[in-house]
Chains A and B, each alone.
Chain A
Amino acid sequence: MRTFKESTMIRTLTASSWKMITSALLVAAIVGGASRAMRAASTDGSDDRGNTSVAARLGGFPGILAFLDRFVVPAEVADPVVGPFFVPNIKEPAGDIEQCLAMLLDHDLGGSSPHFGAILADGHQCRSSMSNIHRGFGIPDFVIDRFIAIVGEQAAMVGVADSDIQEVAKVLDSYRGGVRNK
């Protein structure tokens, strides 16, 4: 049931970049499992359009989204400090935050997703300002460290290449200033 919902939600996204995502990859990532898709993408180092970016090796947007949904969110929720920020995400598979974050990562790692501004199936629009998104939370450095460390830990566990994990960490860390103590 959950897989069906994920697939439905993803397919109904309105961002134009979705047209560029192959359905085979989508099925592989969502149905077949994120780790398998990410490892498979990492093995040959490119997607079927010849994109050799880190994003392509991670399975593009669907691979990143499935990885976030199946591995990162449960691990983040289990963390005492970061967990509460992800409470809505564990209840709503492939929710707004995961989709927007997956697009952001895909974009910043060389994929074809829009950086921001995509309108999701439920009408939510991914915002551009990290400061505005995190305003009022007062998130300190240690929470950001925990968040990135958990992403890296989960990526290592599913077999993502070390250099790609470092790139993901760099991208996430590049937003630290916009997230910290807002």
Chain B
Amino acid sequence: MRRWKWTIRLGGLLAAATLVIGLLHLPAARPLLALVGACPVGRASATEIEDARRIALRSLRGSTRAPVRPALRFELERTTLDEVRGWAQARAIACDLSRESTLLVCSRVPADALASDALQPIDEVAFVFRLRDRRLVNLTTLTTGVAPGRAADSFAAITGALASALGSPEASRVPPRQWDGTRPVFIRYRYADYIADVSAMRLPGRGVVVREQYMSASENGS
């Protein structure tokens, strides 16, 4: 009889704990979850993310300094979060700020608003700001469902602009004529203080995905 009581109590306790943990993961309870240390599964703090990026850059960066550091219409390690938010507000671009105000993701961004050479609107632009002063250190664009011909033209325009500023890339593979997207194409610049990547490839059921990344690779900027 006593054993049954303990079994019921233990079961009740486990059920209550499960309920509490579940409730803590509801959007409305996220601040409360942060107070108790956040979910241990895949929830890194802005500091941890910055540290991880610093480690990653060790294996990504090159050895010489970049002559210039193009990042569309922005300036790495200079443009502030407030400036980017102001830019977005002035153009009625919807953005979502998260991760302790270090990540701003904007949707459906006209290419000309970014001073991008892309030939289509950008689905998603992600801005990363340095934790200590909220200055831009990483800008990434992603556009899906692009027709191969248009993606190839965009790729050529974007990489042409980069080549004008930086010269020949460290590595590249450009779309051949009549490119259908199945052969991934990319261009890669690696400097001690700057990294730029542009790539395009067809994803199953998603059309061609075009991705651009411009980031500071300096120790200060990561």
Q: Are A87 and B186 in contact (CB under 8 A)?
A: no
Select A157's contact among B44, B52, B171, B203, beta carbons within 8 Å. B171
Q: Interface size for chain A: under 10, 10 to 19, 20 to 34, or 35 or more residues?
A: 35 or more
A25–B182 Cα distance when bound, in Å, is: 29
The answer to whether B25 touches A165 (Cβ under 8 A) is no
Judge whether A77 and B53 touch: CB under 8 Å.
yes
Q: Are B209 and A149 in contact (CB under 8 A)?
A: yes
Interface: B109 (CB within 8 A): no
- Report the Cα distance A87→B186, complex, angstroms: 25
Report if B117 contacts A (CB, 8 A).
no
On chain B, the residues within 8 Å of A169 by CB distance are 201, 203-204
Chain A facing B: main interface SS = helix
**Known contacts A156-B184, A157-B186, A162-B182; A80/B201 CB under 8 A:** no
Asked if B184 and A153 make an inter-chain contact with CB atoms under 8 angstroms apart, the answer reads yes
* A 134-175 to B, binary, CB cutoff 8 A, 1 in contact else 0: 001100011001101110110111000011011001100100
B154: A residues at CB distance < 8 A: none
Q: Are A91 and B52 in contact (CB under 8 A)?
A: yes
Interface residues of A in 79-128 (CB under 8 A from B): 79-81, 83-88, 90-91
Please name all residues of chain A whose beta carbon is closer than 8 Å to the beta carbon of B199 when the two chains form the complex: 149, 152-153, 156
Beta-carbon contact of B138 and A80 below 8 Å: yes
- B172-187, CB < 8 A from A: 173, 182-186
A136 partner, pick from B39, B55, B126, B173, beta carbons under 8 A: B39
Q: Which of B60, B105, B140, B201 contacts A165 (CB 8 A)?
A: B201
- A106 CA to B151 CA in the complex, in Å? 31
B41 sits at the interface (CB 8 A): yes
Listed in ascending order, the chain A residues whose CB lies under 8 Å from chain B are 70, 73-75, 77-81, 83-88, 90-91, 136-137, 141-142, 145-146, 148-150, 152-153, 155-157, 162-163, 165-166, 169-170, 173
Chain B residues packing against A (C-beta within 8 Å):
25, 39, 41-44, 48-49, 52-53, 55-57, 59-60, 99, 103, 105, 123-124, 126-128, 138, 140, 142, 144, 171, 173, 182-186, 188, 195, 197, 199, 201-206, 209, 211, 213, 215
Q: Which 3 A-B pairs have the closest CB atoms?
A: A80-B126, A77-B56, A156-B184
